[in-house]
């Protein structure tokens, strides 16, 4: 791997995720977010947002659900998800 942000295919997928031809569902967006964070940062060790931050809690929960996955595995799953979304 070239650096802590990932390999070329992962970086390309992150760029392509911003230009999808349709709006992904909330679940798809949460999955993209969680895999991206796990693939770049690793396990979530931040405190859970407060009860009034619904969106923040959903993102935190999605990322925390990936705990234990390697950065490389998360990046590959992210690439695969972006490829699947591009076909929709």
- Is it the case that residue 84 has pLDDT exceeding 60? yes
Number of H helices, E strands in the chain: 4, 0
Which is more confident, 74 or 22? 74
Give the per-residue pLDDT at 78.
Answer: 98
Estimate to the nearest angstrom the gap between the alpha carbon of 79 and the chain centroid.
10
Domain 4-87 = CATH 1.20.80.10: yes
Cα separation, 63 vs 80, whole angstroms: 17
Q: What is the mean pLDDT of residues 51-80?
A: 97
Give the per-residue pLDDT at 2.
Answer: 44
Condensed to tens digits (0 to 9), the pLDDT of residues 5-60 reads: 559 999 999 999 999 998 999 999 999 999 999 999 999 999 999 999 999 999 99
**Burial annotation 58-81 (CB, 10 A radius, 16+ → b, else e):** bbbebbbebeebebeebbbbbbeb
């Amino acid at each position: 791997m070239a650096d802590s942000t990932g390999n070329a295919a992962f970086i390309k997928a992150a760029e392509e995720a911003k230009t999808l031809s349709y709006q992904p569902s909330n679940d798809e967006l949460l999955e993209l977010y969680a895999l991206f964070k796990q693939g770049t940062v690793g396990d979530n060790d931040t405190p859970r947002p407060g009860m009034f931050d619904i969106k923040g809690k959903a993102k935190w929960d999605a990322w925390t659900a990936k705990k234990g996955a390697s950065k490389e595995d998360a990046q590959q799953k992210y690439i695969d998800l972006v490829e699947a979304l591009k076909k929709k």
